[in-house]
Amino acid sequence: MANKRNTVLYIGVTNNLSRRVSEHKDKVVNSFSSKYNCTKLVWFIETQNIKSAIYKEKQMKKWKREFKNNIINELNPDWIDLADRLI
């Protein structure tokens, strides 16, 4: 998730992406993403294994911002909100 100006990124894991994106957009939980207005889904991957998803999340949180930007740019070079594609 990113904020409107793409200056802040939030990385997380969920078992229901549509629901979780809605929670971010509606700021249901007082959290990092709500504090920094991370309401735009700019990148995601799916996995069948929760352990590998959590491992990937922890790994990505350690990456430098430039590497995260490059990963997003590969899939979504215009940084559009991908949430509409989930519905």
Question: pLDDT tens digits for 20-42?
Answer: 999 999 999 899 999 999 999 99
What pLDDT score was predicted for residue 73? 98
CB 23 within 8 A of CB 59: no
pLDDT grade, residue 87 (50/70/90)?
low
Report the C-alpha gap between 12 and 40 in whole angstroms.
Answer: 13
Digit-coded pLDDT (tens) for 65-79:
999 999 999 999 999
Report the C-alpha gap between 28 and 34 in whole angstroms.
Answer: 8
The torsion of the CA quartet 44, 49, 51, 57, rounded to 10 degrees, works out to 0
Minimal CA–CA distance to 46: which of 76, 72, 15? 15
